[in-house]
Every structure is written in C-alpha cells, then in structure tokens.
Structure 1
Amino acid sequence: MKGRTYTCGLDAAIAVMGGKWKGLILFSLGEGPLRFGELRRAVAGISERMLILQLREMETSGLVHREVHHQVPPKVEYSLTEFGRSLNAAMAPLGEWGETHLERIEAIS
C-alpha cells in the first residue's frame, strides 16, 4: 500500500481492509477489546497463523491497537483505533446490504 496511487476513495478503502478476514476481525472488535483467543473464536474458520498475520497488518495500517498488560500470565488485548472504528462504521451499511441480499448472493456463489 505504501507509495501506491489510488484511483478513488473506494480503491483506497478496499486496499486497507482487503482480504477475506479483515472485515470479520473489524466487525468482531467493534463490540470492544478482545484477547487473541476470544478473537479467534469470534472469527470462525481463521487459523492462528492467519489471525496473527492479519492483526499485524491491521496494526501497521493503524486499524487495530495491541495493548500488552504486564501481569502474570501476560495479557494482550486488541481493540479498534479511531481509524478502525471509522472504517467499521463505513462498512456497516455494506453488511446490512449483504444480509438483505444473502439468499440471492448464496444462489450465485
């Protein structure tokens, strides 16, 4: 994404949240901070490795904040940044559209 020229705002938004998992991770974190295991259970079907990779990318792009609580045992929580919350809000109407047209989408998939 760094140094890339975007053709429009939609192109830029899709580049930030592209991929199969980022939207589901954003949606799951929209309810509040989650620990890694909680997030993995919330995003059905994602492998541990893929969740780690996606969270790193999302942290680098400023969508997710990783907070380490120094305690025994160590506790790490993930939460949305303001940037991530704004993207989540922008995606909400798209999710509603998907719910409305789910049967039709499943029929063509």
Structure 2
Amino acid sequence: VQRFLADLNVFTELLANAINLYSGGPLRGTELNLILYKNTSIKDRSMLYNRDAQMFFVTTDYNKTKNITRKERFSYRYLTPMLSRIIIVLVAAVFPLRDYI
C-alpha cells in the first residue's frame, strides 16, 4: 500500500509537469497548485470536461494585476486527448481507490 501511494505521488507530479508542458503557455507555480479536480467547500473545481471536444480544460483565475484592477480574468487551457484520457482514469478509478485505502 505504501509503495502504491508513493508511486501515485510520483505519477501525479509527472502528470502536473505534462499538464504544464502541453496545455499552452506555461502555468505559474501558483496556478499549478490551484488546479482542483473536485469541488471543495471553499472553491469550485478548475478541471472541467468538454464532452463535445472530448477533452478536459483547466481554468485558472490567477492574474497578477488583480489587486490593482479588482477584476478577475480567467484563462482556459485545453489538455491533449491523451492527457484527458489519463485524467479520466485517474479521477474515476485511481483516486477513489486511494481514498478507500
């Protein structure tokens, strides 16, 4: 079990790097840390699935001028079809297994 969890952590870090590389322009560190695959009590998820395109996209609301303008700007980054399929398996099967253990 410990090895599975350790391998999952490594895989998740590699997946974060792949998302950063293949989702358009590079994400800032704070943007990458804020990607959520499920809703929390504080914030809505930032990973959504576009059924028509059959791809996930990530929304980020990070904006370095937000403190000055007081306006939120969202950026949308589509993931590749391969990354989208990996995330479907991860969210639908692997993460529930991890939470069950």
Task: Note whether the superposition's TM-score is higher than 0.5.
Answer: no
More helix by share: 1
With the length of structure 2 as denominator, give the TM-score of the two structures: 0.32
With the length of structure 1 as denominator, give the TM-score of the two structures: 0.30
